[in-house]
Amino acid sequence: MSIATRAPTKPYYTFCGQQLESVTSHPYLGEITNTLSGGTQTSLSIKKAQRAMGVLKRNLADCRQEVKVTAYQAIVCPLLEYATSAWDPHVKHNINALEKVQTQAARFCMKEYSRMPGTVTQLMADLNWQPLQTRRKIARVTMFYKMVNGLVDIDLQNYVVKTNRQTRRHNQKYQTMRWKVAAWRDSFFPTTVKEWNELPPSAVNCNSLESFKSAAKDHYQSKSKN
């Protein structure tokens, strides 16, 4: 597979005398495409999640709300959020398509199918479910926290540069990255560095991974209310 943001060329590669097949996508932390578009992985995640939701609807229709919620969070959510730190979509229609699956799950769990304005917002509040987009942000900054604190085998110095400027928020900021193409702008490091720099000191300076996750969740919840 040849990766390019424009129409890629079609080089031919050989291995042990055999010409390798040219493909436009390949499974790797989701489904990576030759144009680095997130649409393919989004569609695959939605397809798998909807298939799983169909199974839940056929088998758990008469179960209690708690059972449905547990099944959704254990079976469907992982399909929607697999490796999202790597492929978090930034195109609006992909974001909305993922959220629609969770909306359908909320209606199923609560047995509420009214189309009245505000119904979905109230369902999410009653279930205490965050938007999937917010959950993906938390997943990305959590991965960055692991890199900063050496909890994963990724040398952060190979990818980002720490800033020496004194700032109002915290002293663990990193230089924002320049970009020329959207594929790089929307990738993990340029997007996550910006969000990491905006976190409050109470989150960045947490001494444990669990306390950081809790602080990051509180931070984004407070931002959504403002």
pLDDT tens-place string over residues 132-174:
999 999 999 999 999 999 999 999 999 999 987 766 678 889 9
Q: In this structure, are 113 and 157 located in the same domain?
A: no
Residue 157 counted as domain residue: yes
- Closest to 25 measured CA to CA, from 9, 41, 14: 41
Which among 129, 149, 173 is the end of a domain? 129
**End position of a domain, from candidates 129, 147, 176:** 129
Q: How many domains does the chain have?
A: 2
Over residues 50-68, mean pLDDT: 96
Both tokens of 167, joined, read: 């700032």
* pLDDT (tens digit per residue) in 185-226: 888 999 999 999 999 999 999 999 999 999 999 999 888 766
122 and 151 share one domain: no
Is 116 in the same domain as 165? Answer: no
Buried b (16+ CB within 10 A) or exposed e, 179-193: eeeebeebbebebbb
Note whether 130 and 99 are within 8 A (CB). Answer: no
208 and 181 in a common domain: yes
Same domain, 146 and 98: no
pLDDT band at residue 126, thresholds of 50, 70 and 90?
very high
- What the block records as the tokens of 136 is 């993906």
Domain-located, residue 72:
yes
> Would residue 47 count as lying in a domain?
yes
Full residue range of the structural domain in which residue 54 is found: 38-129
Alpha helix segments (H runs only) across 22-91: 39-59, 65-71, 77-81, 84-87
Q: Which of 66, 99, 129 is the last residue of a domain?
A: 129
For residue 112, how many other CB atoms are within 10 A of its CB? Answer: 14
pLDDT exceeding 70 applies to what percent of the chain? 86
User: Do 218 and 141 belong together in one domain?
Assistant: yes
pLDDT computed for residue 166 by the predictor = 65
Structure-model confidence comparison of residues 200 and 21, the more confident one: 200
Shared-domain flag, residues 145 and 166:
yes
* Residue 53 falls in which region: left (phi positive, over 0), alpha (psi -120 to 50) or beta: alpha
